Structure 1
Amino acid sequence: MSTWNDVGRIALALPEAVEGQAHEGSPAYDVQKRQFARLRWDDDRREVLQFWTDDREALVQDRPEAYWITKAFPSAVFAHLDRLDVGELREIVTESWRVRAPKRLVKAHPEVS
């Protein structure tokens, strides 16, 4: 089970990642002014991670109880944090950083995988 605090520890270990804020004030993490992780809540007030990946459909197909996508946010994926272990969380936060960071920054940090 993961929490937003786990997201923070993982995100801030990535190159040029900083704490940020979404337009309405919810917590987020940015890389060069681009969000790569954002906290949301579902109707039951469970923590939900919004993130980006190139493999959206596979995640949703493999684990529909944890991941979903919406038409309102066509490039993002959502996950219930309490359904993810820290290892899986590290993979998706790191992938989201790679997808959202400028290509030159990703290229400068091949150790981020």
Structure 2
Amino acid sequence: MVTVEDVRRFAATLPRSSEHLIRDRVKFRVGRIVYVAFSRDETLMGFGFPKEEREALVASEPTKFQLPRESDLRFNWVVARTDALDVPEMRELVLEAWRMCVPKKVRAEQERLSIARPAP
């Protein structure tokens, strides 16, 4: 199971990432773009994900992933159940969502650093 604190620790290591509390929901942003957001009860974690790949992701593990609510289908977004995620998988999803939001130069620098310093 993944918690907000797990995501917080990881997101704090990502350049330009910031945490915000908006309408009693924890969200992580790059500038004004939200790349991860939790439901109020913290049982669901929404994250940036390519629209063209999300149907396949949800179909591959429907007990773990779901499409966003109908009003959010226009965004690059998927929702995961926090009790079905483990920390390594969360890190991968959050990192990919973050990469969708940052400038290419920042993403390239982070990738260069992660190659030089493997994740724990």
User: For residue 56 of structure 1, what is the aligned residue in structure 2?
Assistant: 54
| One-letter amino acid of the structure 1 residue matched with residue 63 of structure 2 | E
| One-letter amino acid of the structure 1 residue matched with residue 104 of structure 2 | K
Tell me the TM-score normalized by structure 1: 0.83
User: For residue 2 of structure 1, what is the aligned residue in structure 2?
Assistant: 2
SS in 2 for 1:64: coil
Aligned residues: 109
| One-letter amino acid of the structure 2 residue matched with residue 39 of structure 1 | F
Is the Cα–Cα contact under 8 Å of residues 4 and 42 in structure 2 kept in the other structure? no
**Structure with higher strand content:** 1
User: For residue 28 of structure 1, what is the aligned residue in structure 2?
Assistant: 27
| One-letter amino acid of the structure 2 residue matched with residue 107 of structure 1 | A
* 1:92 CA drift (Å): 0.4
User: For residue 15 of structure 2, what is the aligned residue in structure 1?
Assistant: 15
Alignment of 1:1-113 (within 5 A): 1-22=1-22, 24-41=23-40, 45=41, 47-54=43-50, 55-69=53-67, 70-74=69-73, 75=75, 76-111=77-112
* 1:105 CA drift (Å): 2.5
Q: Mark the runs of 5 or more structure 1 residues left unpaired by the alignment.
A: none
**Structure with higher helix content:** 2
Distance 1:71 1:3 in 2: 25
| One-letter amino acid of the structure 2 residue matched with residue 52 of structure 1 | G
| One-letter amino acid of the structure 1 residue matched with residue 102 of structure 2 | A
SS in 2 for 1:109: helix
**4+ residue stretches of structure 1 with deviation over 4 A?**
none
Percent identity of the aligned residues? Answer: 29
* 1:46 CA drift (Å): 5.3
Larger radius of gyration: 2
